[in-house]
């Protein structure tokens, strides 16, 4: 059942995420315009670089804005932020095209004295420059599709397959949830071969280990006792806390999130106190380590009581 | 054999050092220095740097080396304070410069005041910390999110007592990651191995692996829990992307004036169309829906956490947790400050609008903070820029298209969500070494705000009296993130927002929330939000973890794999930081 749920979810999410990502016709058109401007702009930049490389030393190259080999002149300090400048009137597509064409005409008129290779490179650049004038002007003034229209347009084109996929996601998730719950409630060994974990038994063993450590620590501080306590804590952290943490999903499925939180809150508090005892032992502070282990014992007892409560409530 | 001390050593022992003046002062000094430096780095390179690892190492040096009295938990306080102060650096540097940049072009934007900026940033800083109070129990104790960087910092903090074997493993991991990353920084190794290009696979079906031991380390610490993240990436790049091209959903070569597909066209449909137009905005939507469903699903546990905090308040604050009173008072005060910031941000923002901004802003900050904390907890990657962008977009609409107000309030969101992720990671480290959360939170509350005036001050200093100190026209300090935000605000002004992708994504995220894997929507959304090579590298780490766990068991994982993985993360983080400093020093 879990695998079926997962399979339904995977198909569903593939469907709804694909159609969810689909662009509305307006967006496709918008991206086509900006894409054309960007790609032709890139071609123009490449052609410009080629012309600059070929036209080294030619006066036109400098007039066209090619970077010079000469050290850059010291720039005059930039004026302060244009706080007082009047805002410019918004350009139109026609005005931008006219501006581009005028630049092109000026540059074309400035072609005398070049070698054949230079002339070829410059002509290629000017052709690329001309090709991008209109698309670039169109992209600059194009108005984006308003958000509301994007939603309605996308939904009218992709809504049905999107909703179908979404329904499959929900169905798959519900099937998997049921399967996980059933698995948690079953006492049979799991598919991976590991047997069921009895949280209560493990928690009881952990509490007993912590209580025994606390009793040993009551005897007082010696270097040997500190070293022994540190080793005992490390063993508890790796061999007793870790499996209980691993078993938390089962506990949650069995007793619900609220019941799980009731048990795991004090359990985690106990874990943190044990961690603190370890740190205090490393820092050679026996009293803090001793207190922390005692507090951990209290927290773990609280977790045991909480577990008994949620089990009783479920019955 | 030594005589046992039957007094328990209490008579001559000072209390265990934890929240001390030394830890806080050292943390503030380290944090303020990092903030100043990292604001500059963020403006120059476009990314922020986390300071926890650096702070932990420097804390060791000062508290244990110089003062000769630092404890493990005291250093945790130092590192919590330092990274909390430093959190303002990226929060401010990613958002606020957009206001300076846009002000240069539009005189109506240029006349903004510093007071609302400070108020907004402070409100964000406090809100980020208070929202974490009830979520700590949920994310760290119940969901057991990994927070790989938190584990790495905890491993570092524990290193004095972890034994020679673990120290060697930590150093070994550190050395391997450092060596590889030095080669990457020197250009001898690529950042990404593009296997697809070598095989002739189109760019829109990428097959690539990042050369990053930090990503592998994060995966090693996450294990099977990180697999949905890889699934999300494969769904995005190996299903949606080729389907979109194959079904003709993207502009054809003819649409963009080309006779046939070229390399530039492939790059255009992969990144401009596929990634920025489709996957990224939908990933953000899935993140939001996934987080919302997470809140709904975790409601019983969050309610239990709040009840616990309430009981702590009644018990007179003796608990390890901050009381719920701090949460409620903190949220109320921060909302009032946010309201003030909104009101002062622009004369066009009236009382009603300011109130709406404060309410929705606080709600969004809480949700985005949850998303970022969850994403960081599961993968060590935080979508702060995406969440800040949505925050600014929300503020833009709520303020009636007021650019100044939206950026000023966006600063609060950016700082607040960063604070959530940072605090949660520090609390994870704290849990692993046994620190008291209340003391960590108290320390962060008391001094995290210091980063705000430092970061804003550095920004004004760099802008200069004549202006133009950073921005797209300044190649020295191009402020890439803020320039991108400025461009997005310009597009918002023109009326563009990918609302269809956000709504569709949110619906998917909500649906995924039903599946019995916590945070599935957040993981899938985050994967769509990122380029594939980052996710794949992380996935390799997850797969190695699963194989090793099966072979060697949990104990071996704890004693062997964790220090190696922590070494990977620390090694790459420190090498990246050193490389940045070397590059800046070399001009």
> Is A272 in Cβ contact with B434 (below 8 Å)?
yes
Name which of B5, B495, B505 is nearest A146 (Cβ-Cβ): B495
In angstroms, the separation between the Cα of residue B558 and the nearest Cα of chain A is 7
- Predicted local confidence at residue B314, as pLDDT: 65
Q: Is residue B9 part of a domain?
A: no
Helix (H) or strand (E) holding B248: none
Rounded-to-integer distance, Cα B566 and Cα A234, Å: 18
Any idea which residue has 């071969």 for tokens? A193
Measured between beta carbons, which residues in chain A are less than 8 angstroms from residue B232?
none
* Residue pLDDT, tens place only, B103-148: 888 888 888 889 999 999 999 999 999 988 888 888 999 889 989 9
Comparing CA positions, the residue from B96, B85, B90, B86 lying closest to residue B118 is: B96
In angstroms, the separation between the Cα of residue B348 and the nearest Cα of chain A is 19
The answer to whether A46 faces chain B, any CB pair under 8 Å, is no
> Is B512 in Cβ contact with A81 (below 8 Å)?
no
Q: Is residue B318 part of a domain?
A: yes
Q: Which residue of A has its CA nearest to B321?
A: A269
* C-alpha pair distances (Å), A179 with each of A256, B227, B524: 15, 20, 22
Q: Which of B275, B434, B510 to mutate to test the interface with A (most CBs of A within 10 A)?
A: B434
The pairing of beta strand B208-210 with beta strand B192-194: antiparallel
> Is A279 in Cβ contact with B72 (below 8 Å)?
yes
* Residue pLDDT, tens place only, A135-162: 999 998 888 888 889 999 999 999 999 9
Instruction: Answer yes or no: are the C-beta atoms of B323 and B313 closer than 8 Å.
Output: yes
**Res. B298 pLDDT band, cuts 50 70 90:** confident
Measured between beta carbons, which residues in chain A are less than 8 angstroms from residue B107?
82-85, 87
The partner residues of B5 in beta bridges, in order of sequence, read: A221
Pull the structure tokens for residue A162. 């999107």
Pull the structure tokens for residue B562. 């964790």
What is the number of other CB atoms lying within 10 angstroms of the CB of residue A314? 10
> Is A78 in Cβ contact with B466 (below 8 Å)?
yes
Q: Is residue B228 part of a domain?
A: yes
Measured between beta carbons, which residues in chain A are less than 8 angstroms from residue B433?
275-276, 278-279
Q: Is A264 exposed, middle or buried (0-12, 13-18, 19+ CB in 10 A)?
A: buried
- Predicted local confidence at residue B576, as pLDDT: 85
Any idea which residue has 């939908």 for tokens? B282
Rounded-to-integer distance, Cα B391 and Cα B384, Å: 10
Q: Is residue B111 part of a domain?
A: yes
* A·B CB contacts under 8 A: 283
Q: Which residue of A has its CA nearest to B279?
A: A21
What is the number of other CB atoms lying within 10 angstroms of the CB of residue B28? 22
With both helix axes pointing from N to C terminus, report the angle between B72-93 and B403-433 in degrees, rounded to the nearest 10. Answer: 160
* Residue pLDDT, tens place only, B360-395: 999 989 888 888 888 888 888 878 878 888 888 889
Backbone region of residue A284 per phi and psi (left: phi > 0; alpha: psi in -120 to 50; beta: other values): left
> Is B140 in Cβ contact with A287 (below 8 Å)?
no
Q: Which of A130, A279, A285, A302 to mutate to test the interface with B (most CBs of B within 10 A)?
A: A279
Q: Is residue B286 part of a domain?
A: yes
The partner residues of B209 in beta bridges, in order of sequence, read: B193
Q: How many CA atoms within 13 Å lie on the side-chain side of A302?
A: 16
Q: Is residue B2 part of a domain?
A: no
Rounded-to-integer distance, Cα B495 and Cα B493, Å: 5
The answer to whether B495 faces chain A, any CB pair under 8 Å, is yes
Q: Which of A26-30, B8-12, B359-363, B521-525 has the lowest mean pLDDT?
A: B8-12
Measured between beta carbons, which residues in chain B are less than 8 angstroms from residue A144?
491, 494-496
- Sign of the torsion angle spanned by Cα atoms B377, B378, B381, B383: negative
Number of independent structural domains in chain B: 1
Q: Which of A15-24, A293-302, B8-17, B32-41 has the lowest mean pLDDT?
A: B8-17
Q: Is residue B514 part of a domain?
A: yes
Pull the structure tokens for residue A33. 């315009």
- Predicted local confidence at residue B287, as pLDDT: 87
Q: Is A102 exposed, middle or buried (0-12, 13-18, 19+ CB in 10 A)?
A: exposed
Measured between beta carbons, which residues in chain A are less than 8 angstroms from residue B15?
288
Q: Which residue of B has its CA nearest to A275?
A: B434
In angstroms, the separation between the Cα of residue B497 and the nearest Cα of chain A is 5
Query: What is the ipTM for the molecules in this complex?
Result: 0.84
Measured between beta carbons, which residues in chain B are less than 8 angstroms from residue A23?
249-250, 273, 277-278
* Residue pLDDT, tens place only, A62-100: 888 888 765 544 444 344 444 444 555 678 899 999 999
* Secondary structure (H, E, C), B346-380: CCCCCHHHHHHHHHHHHHHHHHHHHHHHHHHHHHC
The answer to whether A169 faces chain B, any CB pair under 8 Å, is yes
DSSP, res B515: S
Q: What percent of chain B has pLDDT over 90?
A: 44
Mean pLDDT of A4-26: 95
* Secondary structure (H, E, C), B255-267: HHCCCCCCHHHHH
Rounded-to-integer distance, Cα B575 and Cα B175, Å: 10
Q: Is residue B1 part of a domain?
A: no
SS3 B12: coil
**Res. A209 pLDDT band, cuts 50 70 90:** very high
**Res. B56 pLDDT band, cuts 50 70 90:** confident
Backbone region of residue B8 per phi and psi (left: phi > 0; alpha: psi in -120 to 50; beta: other values): left
* Residue pLDDT, tens place only, B218-230: 899 888 888 899 9
Rounded-to-integer distance, Cα B284 and Cα B282, Å: 5
What is the number of other CB atoms lying within 10 angstroms of the CB of residue B262? 14
The answer to whether B103 faces chain A, any CB pair under 8 Å, is yes
- Please state, rounded to an integer, the average pLDDT across all residues of chain A: 87
Instruction: Answer yes or no: are the C-beta atoms of A46 and A131 closer than 8 Å.
Output: no
Rg (CA), chain B: 24
Residue range of the domain that includes B74: 21-585
> Is A274 in Cβ contact with B1 (below 8 Å)?
no
Q: Which residue of B has its CA nearest to A227?
A: B161
Comparing CA positions, the residue from B467, B479, B383, B475 lying closest to residue B41 is: B479
């Amino acid at each position: 059942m879990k695998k079926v749920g997962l399979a339904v979810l995977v198909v569903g999410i593939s469907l709804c995420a694909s159609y969810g990502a689909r662009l509305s016709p307006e967006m496709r058109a918008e991206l086509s315009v900006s894409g054309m401007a960007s790609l032709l702009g890139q071609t123009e930049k490449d052609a410009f670089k080629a012309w600059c490389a070929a036209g080294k030393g030619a006066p036109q190259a400098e007039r066209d804005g090619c970077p010079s080999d000469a050290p850059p002149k010291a720039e005059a300090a930039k004026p302060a932020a244009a706080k007082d400048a009047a805002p410019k009137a918004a350009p139109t597509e026609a005005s931008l095209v006219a501006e581009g064409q005028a630049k092109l005409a000026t540059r074309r008129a400035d072609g005398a004295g070049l070698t054949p290779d230079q002339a070829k490179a410059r002509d290629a650049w000017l052709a690329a420059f001309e090709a991008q004038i209109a698309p670039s002007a169109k992209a600059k003034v194009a108005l984006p599709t308003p958000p509301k229209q994007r939603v309605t347009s996308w939904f009218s084109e992709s809504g049905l397959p999107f909703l179908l996929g979404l329904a499959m996601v929900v169905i798959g998730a519900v099937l998997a949830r049921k399967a996980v719950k059933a698995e948690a409630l079953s006492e049979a060994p799991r598919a991976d071969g590991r047997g069921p974990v009895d949280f209560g038994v493990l928690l009881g063993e952990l509490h007993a280990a912590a209580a025994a450590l606390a009793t040993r620590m009551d005897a007082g501080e010696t270097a040997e006792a500190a070293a022994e306590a540190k080793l005992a804590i490390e063993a508890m952290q790796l061999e007793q806390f870790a499996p209980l943490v691993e078993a938390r999903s089962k506990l949650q499925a069995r007793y619900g999130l609220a019941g799980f939180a009731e048990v795991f809150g004090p359990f985690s508090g106990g874990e943190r106190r044990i961690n603190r005892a370890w740190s205090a032992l490393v820092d050679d502070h026996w009293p803090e380590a001793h207190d922390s282990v005692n507090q951990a014992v209290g927290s773990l007892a609280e977790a045991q009581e909480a577990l008994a409560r949620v089990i009783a409530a479920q019955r | 054999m030594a005589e046992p001390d039957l007094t328990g050593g209490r008579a001559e022992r000072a209390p265990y050092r934890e929240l001390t003046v030394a830890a806080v002062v050292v943390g503030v000094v380290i944090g303020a220095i990092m903030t100043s430096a990292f604001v500059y780095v963020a403006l120059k390179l476009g990314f922020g740097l986390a300071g926890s690892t650096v702070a932990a190492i420097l804390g060791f040096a000062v508290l244990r080396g110089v003062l000769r009295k630092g404890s493990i938990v005291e250093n945790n306080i130092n590192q919590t304070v330092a990274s909390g102060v430093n959190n303002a650096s990226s929060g401010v540097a990613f958002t606020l410069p957009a206001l300076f940049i846009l002000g240069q072009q539009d005189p109506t934007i240029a006349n903004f005041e510093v007071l609302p900026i400070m108020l907004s940033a402070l409100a964000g800083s406090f809100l980020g910390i208070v929202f974490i109070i009830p979520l700590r129990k949920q994310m760290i104790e119940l969901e057991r999110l990994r927070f790989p960087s938190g584990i790495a910092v905890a491993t570092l903090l524990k290193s004095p007592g972890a034994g020679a074997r673990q120290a060697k493993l930590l150093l070994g991991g550190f050395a391997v990651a450092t060596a590889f990353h030095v080669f990457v920084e020197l250009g001898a190794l690529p950042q990404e191995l593009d296997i697809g290009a070598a095989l002739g696979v189109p760019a829109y079906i990428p097959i690539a692996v990042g050369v990053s031991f930090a990503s592998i380390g994060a995966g090693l610490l996450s294990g099977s829990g990180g697999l949905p993240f890889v699934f999300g990436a494969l769904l995005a790049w190996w299903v949606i992307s080729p389907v979109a091209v194959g079904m003709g959903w993207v502009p054809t070569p003819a649409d963009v004036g080309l006779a046939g597909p070229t390399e530039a066209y492939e790059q255009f449909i992969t990144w401009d169309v596929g990634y920025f137009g489709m996957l990224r905005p939908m990933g953000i939507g899935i993140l939001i829906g996934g987080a919302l469903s997470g809140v709904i699903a975790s409601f019983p546990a969050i309610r239990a956490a709040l009840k616990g905090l309430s009981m702590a308040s009644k018990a007179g604050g003796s608990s390890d947790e901050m009381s719920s009173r701090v949460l409620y008072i903190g949220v109320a005060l921060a909302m009032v400050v946010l309201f003030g910031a909104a009101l002062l941000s622009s004369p066009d923002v009236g009382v009603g609008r300011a109130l709406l901004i404060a309410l929705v802003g606080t709600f969004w900050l809480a949700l985005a903070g949850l998303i970022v904390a969850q994403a960081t907890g599961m993968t060590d990657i935080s979508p702060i820029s995406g969440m800040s962008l949505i925050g600014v977009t929300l503020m833009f609409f709520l303020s009636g298209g007021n650019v100044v107000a939206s950026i000023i309030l966006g600063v609060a969101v950016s700082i607040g969500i960063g604070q959530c992720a940072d605090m949660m990671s520090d609390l994870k480290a704290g849990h692993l070494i046994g620190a008291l959360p209340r003391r960590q939170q108290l320390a962060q509350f008391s001094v995290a705000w210091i980063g705000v005036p430092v970061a804003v001050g550095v920004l004004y200093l760099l802008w200069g009296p004549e202006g133009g100190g950073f921005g797209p026209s300044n190649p020295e300090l191009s402020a890439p993130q803020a320039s991108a935000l400025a461009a997005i605000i310009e597009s918002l002004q023109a009326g563009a927002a990918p609302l269809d992708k956000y709504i569709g994504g949110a619906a998917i995220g909500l649906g995924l929330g039903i599946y019995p894997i916590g945070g599935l929507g957040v993981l899938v959304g985050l994967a769509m939000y990122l380029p594939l090579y980052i996710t794949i590298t992380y996935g390799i780490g997850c797969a190695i973890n699963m194989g090793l766990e099966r072979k060697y068991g949990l104990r071996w994982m704890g004693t062997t794999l964790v220090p190696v993985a922590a070494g990977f993360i620390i090694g790459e983080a420190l090498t990246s930081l050193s490389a940045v400093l070397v590059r800046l020093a070399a001009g």
